[in-house]
Amino acid sequence: MRHIESIERLIKAFAGLPGIGEKTAARLAVFILNAKKEYAEELAGAIAGVKEAVRLCRVCAGFSNSDVCPLCADGSRDASTVCVVGDYRDMVAIEASGSYRGAYHILHGLIVPLRGRGPEEIKIKELVERAKTNGIREVILGMPFNAEGETTALYIKKVLEPFGIRLTRIATGVPAGSLIEYMDPRTLGRALEGRKEA
């Protein structure tokens, strides 16, 4: 059966979201059709609004509503230590551990050669630029311990080597294959404190 065009459009849009298959997309579309008009408007407005208001911080590439995010603008943080993470949610998880007072760099992805995602698709060039100019003394590789994380960590190690920056990797208590964002704050805090030379 074919849906009428506007419903088809909505289903397609939902199906583009991560983890949403065709059936779930159709279920969500029907939910919207049955929902109050105000809810549909609020949802559409929230999506448009976030794209309008949020940009990437000039320093760390994290999400921000100003040129430099509040974290990078916070003078009480140690800007000479930079924890590099693949995803914004990893940064949020590390912040939640409360045991880190340095800066971040958000890559917005990891290197996945099999899916055609090379180093130029993520914010590595920006990290190198930062290493050139910003007086970084230590870079903590906060990648997960899976194939993508290892590949990305190795690549960053290679490109940062010429700068003589101390390179460390969070280690203790991080189970193999684990994703940073799902780690409990205490384990993550200990993993950061127990970081080892990369």
Site for Zn ion in 66-85 (CB under 5 A): 69, 72
Question: Is residue 57 involved in binding Zn ion (CB under 5 A)?
Answer: yes
Length of the chain: 198
Q: Which of 60, 83, 91, 167 binds Zn ion (CB under 5 A)?
A: 60
Give the three-class secondary structure for 27. helix
The CA distance from 69 to 62, in Å, is: 7
Decide: is 153 part of the binding site for Zn ion (CB under 5 A). no
State the nearest-atom distance from the C-beta of 123 to Zn ion, in Å. Answer: 12
- 106 lies in the site for Zn ion, by CB under 5 A: no
How far apart are the C-alpha atoms of 85 and 155, rounded to whole Å?
A: 13
For residue 173, how far is the Cα from the chain centroid? 21
Contact residue for Zn ion among 25, 29, 59, 167 (CB under 5 A) = 59
How far apart, in whole angstroms, are the C-alpha atoms of residue 142 and residue 84? Answer: 5
Please identify, among the stretches 45-53, 54-62, 116-124, 190-198, the one whose residues bind Zn ion according to the rule CB under 5 A.
54-62
CB of 135 to Zn ion, least distance (A): 16
Q: How far is the CB of 110 from Zn ion (least distance, A)?
A: 20
C-alpha span between 106 and 128 (Å, rounded)? 13
Q: How far is the CB of 75 from Zn ion (least distance, A)?
A: 13
198 contacts Zn ion (rule: CB under 5 A): no
Whether the CB-CB separation of 137 and 80 falls below 8 Å is answered with: yes
Which residue's entry shows tokens 């684990």? 178
- The verdict on 141 binding Zn ion (CB under 5 A) reads no
Sign of CA dihedral 108, 84, 158, 162: positive
Residues forming the site for Zn ion (CB under 5 A): 57, 59-60, 62, 69, 72
